[in-house]
Amino acid sequence: MIRVAVDAMGSDRGAEAVVEGARQAASAGVVPVLFGSAELDARGLELVATTQVVGMDEKPADAFRAKADSSLVRAVKAVADGDAAAVVSPGNTGAVLAAGLVLLRRLPGVRRPAIAVPIPARRGPCVLVDAGANADCRPEHLLQFATMGAVFAEELLGIARPQVRLLSIGEEPEKGNQLALEAHRLLAASDLDFRGNAEGRDILAGAADVLVTDGFTGNVALKTVEGTIRTLLDFLREEIAASATGVLGGLLIRPAARRLRARLDPDAYGGAYLLGLRGLVVIAHGNSSPRAIANAVRLAARGVEHDVVGRLAARLAQRADAV
Amino acid sequence: MIRVAVDAMGSDRGAEAVVEGARQAASAGVVPVLFGSAELDARGLELVATTQVVGMDEKPADAFRAKADSSLVRAVKAVADGDAAAVVSPGNTGAVLAAGLVLLRRLPGVRRPAIAVPIPARRGPCVLVDAGANADCRPEHLLQFATMGAVFAEELLGIARPQVRLLSIGEEPEKGNQLALEAHRLLAASDLDFRGNAEGRDILAGAADVLVTDGFTGNVALKTVEGTIRTLLDFLREEIAASATGVLGGLLIRPAARRLRARLDPDAYGGAYLLGLRGLVVIAHGNSSPRAIANAVRLAARGVEHDVVGRLAARLAQRADAV
């Protein structure tokens, strides 16, 4: 029986969607524990009453310090206290990271926790890591990110021996900035299944099982993929709406468009995973659907079953000897 | 009468497409001068016979050294020698950059030439600079890139007082890596119309008239936009083809899809512009259509008319006093 702390407040969609998602994920083996206002209709789930809410725009460190009784901080603290085995929050990413660093602390040997985001690419999920936790990195950080991303892909996404690529500006090893050049050498010398560099154009096409980069580049790339999809579909809708035949055609391709959206659905994987802490932390999208929350809770429980945190620790300790 | 040197070889589409594009751009005021094999059918245009071709995969510095009689090097040299006022090449970007640096040299005060690429965004072109010339940058380089991008947008794209944004990982000034944080301060203190940070999701939506970043991030972002568009349209085609109603709908939305492609057409602006050299250099896409080549030649000629190179020099000299 795995207890997963769920921060029910702070989602842009409101608490009801989070509660509904948690309820969907509840099973004999998975017990979501809600953290949120005492007023909340918990739909039969366990509810820990909290009095504060961290807003999306609050400064992470300030929010963490000032709001010890927020649903976000209390949910993370539940993992630190052993009351839950993992935590899911649809809230402020920076605040979750700050709370995780202080309350859960890093795994031994982890230099920097990183954010891993499974992108629904052509061949299956592509785990982008770091997607934004560390704006400035050193090459050895990228090696750790790759190692953590590979463990995540193996244990949580069921990918045996994940292929790893480094996001850079050309496929040749000598293409890149100083950080990428040095990270390339470390990755090539590691025991990971490193397949060289990938470029931005490969991300959605399915560059690799794990795509490693610094948190600045990763965040820009992730948001570029998301924004380009959104804008392109807007453009297409506008052009289709511009003529009567277009509108008719648009109706006929509606099932195809629905399948396309399902294929690209970021909710399939629940959100972003914060790797490298003594506890599994999932940051669901701020406007997560119940389905996204449910998937996040299930993946978090799966991570506990597979002892992802322990495996990360073991792998990183091995690597620490090697570096 | 403006003479524009055109590297007719080294395009993935073959020399004919380049010649055809050059021919389309030829007018009373614009005289394209072809550089390429003596065998070429020049369609009435002036042809300077060259004996070598730089391949797309050749190492830039090696290619430049070993192939002095290549169409690429000779076309750049024509500008250095005063035989042409600008050059257009659909060839190896790195080799064009190497040839430009050595043969044309940097403008006084320019620390690093940069690649500016107009992206067809929602509100009109968004000039991304640097799109890949400088993988590692310092903050003052980004200020120069922004200045050069703004002059480019004003003089070549006709945008009065271009709005400039910095590509980063959040809109707040304190979001970013060290480079972005310091560049933000320099940009905010400059006389540019600086509107703060933009994120990856804003690029295609129309983040700004000029979007400034280092060449590593810029190249990743540019290729991510291109790749995401391509993969998404592939996905859509596959889903439409998967059912009979879908296929019928696909036929009906064909004009809309055509308008969409026209709207996103990178050929509208001819390619990438190398800014900061003593001569205007345009790197057309490797698989440029005749239309892309024609637009590149026209924009290059327009750049000569507007004395973009002189204006860049003047603006950067001003800035040099200020920094």
What ipTM did this prediction achieve?
0.91
Integer Cα distance of B303 and B310 in angstroms: 10
The pTM for the full model equals 0.92
Chain A: residue nearest B239 by CA?
A: A256
> What does the pLDDT average to over A276-300?
89
* Residue B163 · residue B211 · CB < 8 Å: no
For residue A304, give how far its alpha carbon lies from the nearest alpha carbon of chain B (Å).
Answer: 31
Mean of the per-residue pLDDT values of chain A? 92
Pairing of strands B193-198, B163-167: parallel
Integer Cα distance of B89 and B65 in angstroms: 18
Please identify every stretch of chain B with a pLDDT value under 50, giving residue numbers as ranges: 323
> What does the pLDDT average to over A28-46?
95
3-state secondary structure of B166: strand
- Three-state SS for B246-303 is HHHHHHHCHHHHHHHHHHHCHHHHCEEEEECECCEEEEECCCCCHHHHHHHHHHHHHH
Integer Cα distance of B200 and B224 in angstroms: 10
* Interchain contact, B243 vs A256, CB within 8 Å: yes
Per-residue model confidence as pLDDT tens digits over A139-164: 999 999 999 999 999 988 899 999 99
Dihedral sign of CA atoms A157, A159, A162, A167 in order: negative
* Interchain contact, A180 vs B259, CB within 8 Å: no
Q: Which chain B residues are within 8 Å of A256, Cβ to Cβ?
A: 236, 239-240, 242-243, 246, 249-250
Q: What percent of chain B has pLDDT over 90?
A: 68
Determine the pLDDT at residue A323. 47
Runs of H (alpha helix) within B81-130: 93-99
The one-character DSSP state at B85 is S
Determine the pLDDT at residue B318. 75
* Interchain contact, B252 vs A257, CB within 8 Å: no
Which of A177, A240, A253 comes nearest B216 by C-beta?
A177
* Interchain contact, B253 vs A249, CB within 8 Å: yes
The DSSP-derived string for B170-212 is SSSTT-S-HHHHHHHHHHHTSSSEEEEEE-GGGHHHH--SEEE
Pairing of strands A272-275, A280-283: antiparallel
> Which structural domains are found in chain A, ordered by start?
1-110+276-307 (3.40.718.10), 111-265 (3.40.718.10)
* Interchain contact, B221 vs A226, CB within 8 Å: no
Amino acid at residue number B62 = D
Edge to edge, the sheet with strand B193-198 lists B46-49, B30-36, B2-7, B86-89, B280-284, B271-275, B114-121, B124-129, B210-212, B163-167, B193-198
